[in-house]
Amino acid sequence: MTTTQEQPVRSVPTVSFTDAEAGAKVFPDSGASARRYNYFTPAKRKQTHYEDVTVEVQPDPRHYLAQGWLYGFANGEAGYPLTWTTLKAWGVDKPEPQRGPGSGGLPKDFEWPAHGWHEFRDPNEEWEFTLYRYNANVVRQLNQNIENAREAKAFEQWSPNWVRFVERHIGAWMHIDHILGLYVFAACNRSAPTNMHNTAIAVNSMHKIRSAQDLALYNLTLSEEIEDFDGRAHLDAWNNDGEWQGVREVVEALTAIDDDWGESMFATNVVFEPLLGELFRSHMVQQFAAANGDFVTPTIVGATEYDYSQRDLRWTQACFGPLTADKEFAAHNVTIMQGWLSRWVPRCLEAARTMEPLWSLPDMKPRTFEHALDRARNRFAGIVTELGLELSQEPDT
């Protein structure tokens, strides 16, 4: 005969009705108008979800940071010094509020924002929800495209010459995105004066790191799908091909910029990307691939192109555009940015010219290098003039 075992008494917390819901009672600060973050001024009439999760998370001693930064570097710097770029926004030259015994915390006659850096908003309004959704969509799209291509045996359509081109030169580009992602963008996400800037920079970094891995894994797929595809040829191209040494030198120089996050971002997104990034992606790969029987590679490279042209360029323009019209430092900023253009444009154009032989490599050549370079330069010119800057009249600048 079976006996019934008694269940031990379960220990669970009791549920109680507390009625701690919005609207349950009326008291000071119970109304709908009290249910918003009230410590910053939104950019527009209504504050956005993006602003709510981003603005003022990184403190500022010119705002509410009463006790100041708590940790300093050995050289005395602390927090996010405004001097970590030579660019300036209105208000930055005002001295930091001095606090001490009996001073109180809030700066006298305080208004939000205390200086112009806090006016920046990422037009893409990126926060965790949007960046995971966007990048997850990209990787799903790429996976599907590659899978479709495999099913359709699309890679068999490629000419041997195109196979060589992809294994060496599409592969070589992965290194550029990797270096930019980790050693330019991620490196700068510690530097800028607001959370809005640093998060936009971190998101830009994520795009590049993902893009580098997209190309690496695409290379791996091709090694598995195409019999004589050399999955390591990209290393030889990157390390030894003359066509890549110019752009490699420039990208490494971008990592070596001396302690100015503004120059790093400007030189990369305003100069390097249109003159070299888009030159290769939009005006070479996207134009040549289909003509050479490849409908897959453009979707991989196109995702990177979209990252830049529709998202990363947008935040860059929103960051640097207002600085050239700044109510206090417009002339200062224009001088600096013109100097950056003088430094980086000739370098990028020289690197572009070293890439010219790539345009002769595939069997089908729908576009000449000069045509591609013209398009890239026009695009670059448009970006520069929209920012309120001038192009040099000298040839090749």
Least distance in Å: CB of 231 to other proteins? 8
Q: What is the DSSP string of 129-175?
A: HHHHHHHHHHHHHHHHHHHHHHHTTGGGGS-HHHHHHIIIIIHHHHH
Of the two residues 207 and 379, which places its CB atom closer to other proteins in the complex?
A: 207
Residue found by looking up tokens 């030259």 in the block: 93
In the numeric block, which tokens belong to residue 47? 């504050």
Rounded to whole angstroms, the Cα distance separating 195 from 117 reads 10
Q: Is omega for the bond preceding 113 within 30 degrees of 0, making it cis?
A: yes
Question: Which residue in 83, 93, 94, 140 binds other proteins (CB under 8 A)?
Answer: 140
Segment 256 to 285, residues that bind other proteins, using CB under 8 A? 256-259
What count of other Cβ atoms lies within 10 Å of the Cβ of residue 68?
Answer: 13
Site for other proteins contains 27 (CB under 8 A): yes
Tell me if 102 sits within 8 A of 68, measured CB to CB.
no
Are 198 and 239 a contacting pair, CB within 8 Å?
no
146 touching other proteins, by CB under 8 A: yes
d(CA 84, CA 355): 34
> Min. distance of Cβ 375 from other proteins in angstroms?
27
According to CB under 8 A, which one of 2, 5, 7, 25 is a site residue for other proteins? 25
Q: Where in 298-360 does DSSP place strands (E)?
A: none
- Asked if 42 touches other proteins (CB under 8 A), the answer is no
**Contact string 103-132 vs other proteins (x = CB under 8 A):** xxxx--------------------xxx-xx
Segment 176-205, which members bind other proteins (CB under 8 A)?
A: 178-179, 181-183, 186-191, 195, 198-199, 202-203, 205
Cβ closest to other proteins, residue 154 vs residue 291: 154
- Per CB under 8 A, 339 contacts other proteins: no
Which is closer to other proteins, CB of 205 or CB of 287? 205
CA atoms within 13 A on the CB side of 285: 27
Least Å distance, CB 388 to other proteins, is: 28
The token pair at 202 is 């971190």
User: Residue with structure tokens 């019209």?
Assistant: 325
353 counts as binding other proteins under rule CB under 8 A: no
Of 3, 8, 46, 73, the one binding other proteins (CB under 8 A) is 73
Residue with smaller CB distance to other proteins, 217 or 330: 217
Look-up: residue for tokens 């970006």?
A: 383
Q: Does 18 bind other proteins (CB under 8 A)?
A: yes
Q: Which two tokens stand for residue 362?
A: 């595939």
Residues 201-260 that bind other proteins (CB under 8 A): 202-203, 205-206, 209-210, 212-214, 216-217, 219-221, 224, 231-232, 234-235, 239, 248-249, 252-253, 255-259
Rounded to a whole number of angstroms, the minimum distance from the CB of residue 139 to other proteins is 5
Please identify, among the stretches 170-178, 266-274, 310-318, 342-350, the one whose residues bind other proteins according to the rule CB under 8 A: 170-178
The partner residues of 78 in beta bridges, in order of sequence, read 72
Q: Which stretch binds other proteins (CB under 8 A): 98-106, 268-276, 299-307, 331-339?
A: 98-106
Q: Which stretch binds other proteins (CB under 8 A): 56-64, 158-166, 325-333, 369-377?
A: 56-64
**Residue among 146 and 384 whose Cβ is closer to other proteins:** 146
Pick from 41, 94, 136, 368: which binds other proteins (CB under 8 A)?
136
Residue 269's nearest CA partner among 215, 335, 319, 198 is 319
Cα torsion for 376, 377, 378, 383, to the nearest 10°? Answer: 90
Rule CB under 8 A: say whether 325 interacts with other proteins.
no
Which residue type does 367 have? R
Q: By CB under 8 A, is residue 11 in contact with other proteins?
A: yes
Report the b/e string of 358-372 with b at 16+ CB within 10 A: bbebbeeeeeebeeb
